[in-house]
Structure 1
Amino acid sequence: MSDHKDRRGPGNGHGGPRMGPPGPGMGMPVQKAKNFKGTLNRLIGYLKPHVGKLTGVLLAAIASTIFSIVTPKLLGNATTKLTEGLIAIWNGTPGAGIDFGAINRILLVLALLYVVSAAFGYIQQYLMADVAQKVVYDLRKQVYDKFNRLPIKFFDSRPHGEVLSRVVNDVDNISTTLQQSLTQFITSFVTLVGVIVMMLTISPLMTLIVFLTIPASLLAIRSIAARSQKLFVQQQAQLGRLNGHVEEMFTGHRIVKAFGREQRSIDDFDEMNDKLYEAGWKAQFISGIIMPIMSFISNIGYVLVCIVGGLLVLRRAISVGDILAFIQYTRQFTMPITQLANIANVIQSTVASAERVFELLDEREEIPDPEVPKALIRPAGAVHFDHVRFGYEADKPLIADMNINVLPGQTIAIVGPTGAGKTTIINLLMRFYELDGGKITIDGVDVKEMKRSGLRNLFGMVLQDTWLFNGTIRDNIAYGREGATEEEIVEAAKAAHADHFIRTLPDGYDTVLNEEASNISQGQKQLLTIARAILADPQILILDEATSSVDTRTEVFIQRAMNSLMKGRTSFVIAHRLSTIRGADLILVMNNGSIIEQGNHEQLLAANGFYADLYNSQFTGKAASGA
């Protein structure tokens, strides 16, 4: 139950700054899903309850795009009217003039179309925002609810950064795609189809010329993207290494300074930074030339259209306004193709993110609580381990056959070398892990027959690694029991010998602790966790080396607070400093998952076995045999 910090090593890159090319998705390494079709169908399932609004989004997108596509044609008509009038005047045609009435009517219709197009665009974005946020809201809620049903084993076996990445980055990626890319896909597709239709109505010949530029554009994109993708992979790898180095240096800056390794740290940083620079500028440069090449190919088609269009105008096969409209459509033609190519990459990445979230949602959950659970009305605190077997991995048993009998109110100390299985006993007792065999009972009731929440309410914990959250001291103490009054909080602080130091702080109980609670000392943090445990008023206590990281004077205060806390309660004390548990009723000596000795302090010393060797080694400096 200690607080873990995610330490992402080099090459991970999670959570680091993202670096990419000018256009979204161009040349970037695309994370691909293992089961694209299945994951996509499952993601679409989240959209099914919103079919009505999605239909509205589709219709609004089509309407908005169609109205915007028609406008170049109308502008062309206005240009044609103006040109015809000027030519008639130039030729001296009697009664010739510019038909400003017709032009004004066209411009009025044009302005109306722009307004209507914008209105439909607004409706489209409004509806899609509502759908996207509701889908992501449901997804986040499912993920968070899932966390409460996952066993501790899940969190112990995965880096916290990896889990957080799925909850934050992957879900945000899905949200962004639903909000932006989905509507852009609809708009781009409708625009592409509409532009092709409008170009065909003006001139099939010039449309064919524009089509001839497509293979060249696709070939250029494919060849450049293939090269840039490799470089972006290198860039992300170098970025991950640099992020890992910076994180290590910042978190361990005291050690770096203590050993005088600042220059080596700087040299390592410079080397990684140089490699990142090399990979980065090549990736950005090669990716960045996609748009100029696309523009070059597009301009070739543009020039050809102008030449052919000019010849058609001279032959009076097409009007000047239609040429101008067609040129605008030519400009509009390449953009949807580029956008659709980018969106294809984005969708690949989004489905991969969805797959990672769904993998989390599909993880095996805790064994459900019994339908008719048993509850202890007045718990006494008798604990019995009956032939308990357990291993963190099925083929590697840790505890073979453990039997412990603890009477109510006894203090049980658990000692042994690192990895002996001391903390495992606590994990099994609180049912953070399930047994492979045997059973554990409290007051004669099998813990599997109780609700987990009811079982864990019997326990209070004070750990070596203190956990305090960003909030006031009052809130942190009150975390021990919901609905605690101010008087109860203060009494708990007094019992823990914490009231005095709290009142010396500028804001007293209203002092806000930061996220690491670094604005108070380690000893003060420990006293607050003891106060929290006192307020919880549990029947069974778990103390995991609560004084190991404080000075001797503070240890005295903490020991006094724990002694008052342990009165009348069954207590399990995990200890490394054996001098702190000499008064325990029973000492369990563990090694390699088994209890090899048990008894009180005097009995174990008299036996002159493993415990005596371990105890004496703390004062003589000799290594304990077998440790």
Structure 2
Amino acid sequence: MSAKKKTKVYDVSLYKRLMQYIKPYKGVFTLTLIFVTGLAIFGALRPYVLQQAIDKHIELQKYDGFMYYIIIMIVLLVLEVVCQLLFIYNASWLGQSVVKDIRVKLFKHIMSFKMKYFDNSSVGVLITRTVTDMERISDIFGEGLFMIFSDFLKMLVVGGVMVFMNWKLSILVFTTLPIVLFATTIFQRYMKIAFEDVRNEVSNLNSFVQERVTGMKILQLFTREETEYRKFKEINARHKKGWLKTVWYNSVFFPIAEFLSSLTLGLVVWYGGLNIISDELASQGDLFAFIMMIPMLFRPLNQIANRFNTLQMGIVAANRVFDVLDTTSQIDDAGKIEAAQFKGNIKFEKVHFSYIDDEEVLKGISFDVKSGQTIAIVGATGAGKSTIINLLNRFYDIQKGTIYIDEVDIKEMTLVSLRAQIAVVLQDVFLFADTILNNITLNNPNITEEYVKQAAKDIGIDEFIMSLPNGYHYNVKERGVMLSSGQRQLISFLRAYVTNPRILILDEATSSVDSYSEQLMQIATDKITKDRTSIVIAHRLATIQKADNIIVMDAGKIVEQGTHKELLQNKDGYYRNLYEVQFMKEETM
């Protein structure tokens, strides 16, 4: 970020953009401005009424009509209180409504990002943008923009009343205002920079804590608690340093502003008092009114500086949120074809792909899968097996080549219709902190509980689920920690099965599980792959021997294809060597 951008106090384009979100709430916005105006006018009129009461009644010791001024002051006070109450409520309501709309838009936008964006982004930072920064944006309306407008309006009205009542005393008051305004401008500039630093450190802190809490098991397994504790102390110290900058600027500015206010009040009392004694330019009512109005003139300046703190935090947060909203990292969903039910024919034709430029993961691979076939993909880690799944689902777009389903380029299909007919069972199963039923249906209203139970019986895992407390309504907690890895895999199998996909992908789905769970998975696999086009990725070759075709990959290329028996016949083949090494290892064990 350039220094010029960091010190820019007023970003007109940002305010214009925020105002776009106010359009649905024009009525509330107008009412808020009315209440702000009333607040300034009623507040400024009270000193004037006091001056009239003193000069026309108290000083002359006339009772007639005195109560009239008292009643007017009470009415003005009540109206001011009512306006303040309605102003604060409506301003806060407007802020929260705008934030609700922006947050929904932001979340929808994030969900459309390519997987590459999440590969390169911190989860903690995105959480900060969606939650913490949003609350700061609401403060722009609730405690920032409207409040600053209110304070400025009150100052203008009070200043106008002062000039109307006694222009010579007003000049005395106004002599110190330029100094306060200059100090306020300097204060604003430095606070903007300070709050940008604070928001950076907040993001770093959130990201660090989120990652460490998520990976706490690894930290404890490798006894890294003390190391991470020291890192946290360093980040927290930087966070504290950022906040202390804002504290320092506040501690310098506010005493100066308070001193100037008190100095002005003293000058008015001295000068006005002398004039009263000499019976010249000021009356007792003028003096009392000015003593009452000086805090009303200077306090908003102090408050504006304080409001500005809030506003600056909101501006920095809004910039960060809009940066995410302006990020163009979506898969091009320009396809027009609403894919009907797939037959399940898949064709990769000279497909090239790289996650990082000039580092190809797939190097012109081609293969065909016929409808209803089960193919297996094997190879060493990093050979490009899982990448094929990502490309078939269009989580990433290929650089060269074409991927067809039923002879139609998948780029010509809408993403929703494409992904709706492909189900994936991953090795690392993600479960939400919710019931088993909701983790299976993902809250799809078209999938009933009865259907889920029947599906569980079909693939042989109903008994396992019913053995849990509350059965299908058992809460598995965050990331499914209440279940074993094998149980999570079984839930994942059922999740895929109930969507009735035409294409099924099993990515290392039976690895790292106990023998009992593997037996259940094998039964489930046989059931859910029946009459479906299936792609199975596995390290354990025993699980893929029945596949109609086995694709052997190495370094992003297909080096062999064939059935299990055909590939074993090639004594010098990659698959034969892999098979022999694996089974020799198992026999040794």
Distance 1:407 1:281, change over 3 A: closer
User: Where does residue 58 of structure 1 map in the other structure?
Assistant: 33
2:176 match: secondary structure: helix
1:573 match: secondary structure: strand
2: distance between equivalents of 1:142 and 1:266?
Answer: 36
Which of 550, 557, 560 aligns to 1:587? It is: 550
Distance 1:466 1:146, change over 3 A: same
Which of 332, 337, 352 aligns to 1:367? It is: 332
2: distance between equivalents of 1:277 and 1:374?
Answer: 54
Distance 1:460 1:604, change over 3 A: same
2: distance between equivalents of 1:540 and 1:84?
Answer: 94
2:144 maps to 1:173: no
Alignment of 1:66-145 (within 5 A): 66-80=41-55, 83-85=58-60, 98-125=61-88, 127-129=90-92, 131-145=94-108
2: distance between equivalents of 1:358 and 1:285?
Answer: 29
User: Where does residue 180 of structure 2 map in the other structure?
Assistant: 217
User: Where does residue 331 of structure 1 map in the other structure?
Assistant: 295
Contact 1:36 1:352 in 2 (8 A): no
User: Where does residue 500 of structure 1 map in the other structure?
Assistant: 463
2:285 maps to 1:321: yes
Alignment of 1:153-552 (within 5 A): 153-218=116-181, 247=210, 250-263=213-226, 284=247, 287-316=250-279, 317-344=281-308, 346-364=310-328, 365-371=330-336, 373=337, 375-377=339-341, 379-393=342-356, 395-479=358-442, 482-552=445-515
1: distance between equivalents of 2:245 and 2:102?
Answer: 38
- Point out which structure has higher relative CO (alpha carbons under 8 A, 6+ apart): 1
Distance 1:440 1:250, change over 3 A: closer
TM-score by length of 1: 0.81
Farther off after superposition, 346-355 or 288-297:
346-355
* CA positional deviation for 1:153: 4.0
2: distance between equivalents of 1:142 and 1:226?
Answer: 31
2:367 match: secondary structure: strand
User: Where does residue 611 of structure 1 map in the other structure?
Assistant: 575
1:412 match: secondary structure: strand
Farther off after superposition, 232-241 or 247-256:
232-241
2: distance between equivalents of 1:198 and 1:605?
Answer: 99
**Cα deviations across residues 129-174 of structure 1 (Å, max 9, x unaligned)?**
5544554444344434444554444444433333343333444333
* CA positional deviation for 1:108: 0.4
1: distance between equivalents of 2:39 and 2:187?
Answer: 34
Contact 1:192 1:336 in 2 (8 A): yes
**Cα deviations across residues 8-58 of structure 1 (Å, max 9, x unaligned)?**
xxxxxxxxxxxxxxxxxxxxxx96789934333333333355555534432
2: distance between equivalents of 1:126 and 1:515?
Answer: 37
1: distance between equivalents of 2:443 and 2:147?
Answer: 50
* CA positional deviation for 1:221: 5.4
2:573 maps to 1:598: no
- Equivalent position amino acid for 1:327 in 2: I
Contact 1:32 1:349 in 2 (8 A): no
- Equivalent position amino acid for 2:501 in 1: P
Contact 2:125 2:207 in 1 (8 A): no
Contact 2:508 2:538 in 1 (8 A): yes
* CA positional deviation for 1:423: 1.8
- Equivalent position amino acid for 2:276 in 1: V
**Cα deviations across residues 266-323 of structure 1 (Å, max 9, x unaligned)?**
5555666667667766763553343233222321222222111211111223222321
Which residues of structure 2 form unaligned runs of 5+? none
**Cα deviations across residues 76-109 of structure 1 (Å, max 9, x unaligned)?**
3334456425xxxxxxxxxxxx434433211101
**Cα deviations across residues 236-258 of structure 1 (Å, max 9, x unaligned)?**
77776666665565444444444
* CA positional deviation for 1:366: 3.6
RMSD: 3.5
1: distance between equivalents of 2:560 and 2:141?
Answer: 62
1:549 match: secondary structure: coil
2: distance between equivalents of 1:511 and 1:192?
Answer: 61
Contact 1:473 1:511 in 2 (8 A): yes
1: distance between equivalents of 2:475 and 2:527?
Answer: 27
Distance 1:279 1:113, change over 3 A: closer
Contact 1:540 1:570 in 2 (8 A): yes
- Equivalent position amino acid for 1:457 in 2: A
2: distance between equivalents of 1:250 and 1:231?
Answer: 29
1:506 match: secondary structure: coil
Contact 1:589 1:611 in 2 (8 A): yes
* CA positional deviation for 1:359: 4.1
Contact 1:545 1:573 in 2 (8 A): yes
2: distance between equivalents of 1:150 and 1:256?
Answer: 30
Distance 1:241 1:347, change over 3 A: closer
* CA positional deviation for 1:426: 1.1
- Equivalent position amino acid for 1:73 in 2: Y
2: distance between equivalents of 1:374 and 1:443?
Answer: 13
2: distance between equivalents of 1:257 and 1:166?
Answer: 29
1: distance between equivalents of 2:115 and 2:229?
Answer: 39
Distance 1:522 1:34, change over 3 A: farther
1:541 match: secondary structure: strand
* CA positional deviation for 1:462: 0.9
Distance 1:516 1:79, change over 3 A: farther
**Cα deviations across residues 496-546 of structure 1 (Å, max 9, x unaligned)?**
433222222221222223232222222212111111212222221101111
2:296 match: secondary structure: helix
User: Where does residue 21 of structure 2 map in the other structure?
Assistant: 46
2: distance between equivalents of 1:242 and 1:362?
Answer: 24
* CA positional deviation for 1:595: 1.2
Contact 2:254 2:302 in 1 (8 A): no
- Equivalent position amino acid for 1:337 in 2: L
Contact 2:456 2:462 in 1 (8 A): yes
Q: What is the total number of aligned residue pairs between the two structures?
A: 579
Distance 1:246 1:42, change over 3 A: closer
**Cα deviations across residues 562-587 of structure 1 (Å, max 9, x unaligned)?**
22222222211122333432332222
Distance 1:271 1:39, change over 3 A: closer
* CA positional deviation for 1:387: 2.4
2: distance between equivalents of 1:457 and 1:55?
Answer: 46
User: Where does residue 4 of structure 1 map in the other structure?
Assistant: none
* CA positional deviation for 1:463: 0.9
Distance 1:264 1:181, change over 3 A: closer
Contact 1:33 1:355 in 2 (8 A): no
- Equivalent position amino acid for 1:59 in 2: I
2:558 match: secondary structure: strand
Contact 1:202 1:326 in 2 (8 A): no
2: distance between equivalents of 1:260 and 1:166?
Answer: 32
**Cα deviations across residues 198-257 of structure 1 (Å, max 9, x unaligned)?**
222333333333333334435655677788888777777777666666556544444444
* CA positional deviation for 1:188: 0.8
